[in-house]
Structure 1
Amino acid sequence: MNDGGKRFYLVDGDILPEAILKTALVNEMLAKGEVTKVSEAVEKVGLSRSAYYKYKDGVLPFREPGRSNIVSVSLLLEHHPGILSRVLNTVAAMEGNILTINQSVPEKGLAPVAFVLDRSRMSVDLPRLLAELRQLTGVRSAQLVGSEEE
């Protein structure tokens, strides 16, 4: 029975029809600015404009409640060449995107570093990233400082 209100479902994408999945891709491309016109986006994904307009307002991305994609991380690095580079390469290998980075002048052989990370596309979770960073030679500590909700 439907009382006229909207009903929402959390559904595994593997069981959705192709038109729904392609509509989600078009919405994502438009939101990210990868394309500027609907016609360009639907052509890229192989979807008709009529199918897109039929589903566009009903397909929304799912975001985990309480999970922020923007986080601040604090590190304490030994003052040796290449350590910061290894940290950055590790983050990049896990598909993290560093938005800002600050390194203070080293004192007593240790340099504090802080960076803000967009983890929305990361291939691993945050605890795994921090564990990997802690394993790098020259990284004395790596910890989550904070996060902000989108």
Structure 2
Amino acid sequence: MSARRFFLIREDILTDAMLKTLEAKAMLQSGEAKKINEAAQKVGLSRSAFYKYKDGIFPFHAMAKEKIVTLSINLLDKSGTLSDLLAVVADTGANILTINQTIPLQGRAHITLSIDTAPINMQLDELFERMKQLNAVEKVELAGSG
């Protein structure tokens, strides 16, 4: 058997059945639906389609749970910006494992931040959005996870 490969794809590329499977799985996890048949029916999905996709599609935050995530961040070189960024991460409950910062050149610094996402109290995409809301943050990207 060949090794399984994984891909990260945008939501707008997923098929309708895949999106409905994710929605049904969320209903089951939250308790909104008690059985697979009920969840599939509520989202307008056949049970066979649900079973086809259920073990192969997960929200990004679920795949990153209990893993180390490395972020690549570009910051403007202003006093206190790194502190503000780290405060946003700390507010999520995430454990910061490593911080690497380049010497600022042309008014910008590059940060590589590795965090343990196990204790995080929100989805990673929400964390990314909070980081991007900081005035000094120009870019936040996932560099890797493991």
CA contact (8 A) 2:64 2:117 kept: no
- CA distance in structure 1 between the aligned counterparts of 2:113 and 2:136, rounded to whole angstroms: 17
The aligned counterpart of 1:99 is 97
- CA distance in structure 2 between the aligned counterparts of 1:110 and 1:66, rounded to whole angstroms: 31
* Secondary structure at 2:64 match in 1: coil
Alignment of 1:70-85 (within 5 A): 70-85=68-83
Q: Report the structure number with the largest CA radius of gyration.
A: 1
The aligned counterpart of 2:84 is 86
Structure 1: which 5+ residue stretches go unaligned?
1-11, 13-63
Q: Does 1:117 align with 2:146?
A: no
* Secondary structure at 1:140 match in 2: strand
Question: One-letter code of the match for 1:142?
Answer: V
- CA distance in structure 2 between the aligned counterparts of 1:98 and 1:65, rounded to whole angstroms: 19
The offset of 1:67, in angstroms, is 3.4
Q: Does 1:67 align with 2:97?
A: no
TM-score (normalizing by structure 2)? 0.56
Note the aligned Cα RMSD (angstroms).
2.1
Structure 2: which 5+ residue stretches go unaligned?
1-28, 30-60
Change (3 A) 1:130 1:65: closer
4+ aligned runs moved over 2 Å, structure 1:
64-68
Question: One-letter code of the match for 2:64?
Answer: R
Once the two structures are superposed, residues 42-69 of structure 1 have per-residue CA deviations (whole angstroms, 9 ceiling, x without a partner) of xxxxxxxxxxxxxxxxxxxxxx974352
Change (3 A) 1:139 1:67: closer
TM-score (normalizing by structure 1)? 0.54
Once the two structures are superposed, residues 20-79 of structure 1 have per-residue CA deviations (whole angstroms, 9 ceiling, x without a partner) of xxxxxxxxxxxxxxxxxxxxxxxxxxxxxxxxxxxxxxxxxxxx9743521000100000
The offset of 1:137, in angstroms, is 1.2
The percentage of counterpart residues that share the same residue type is 34
Alignment of 1:1-150 (within 5 A): 66-68=63-65, 69-148=67-146
Count of aligned pairs:
88
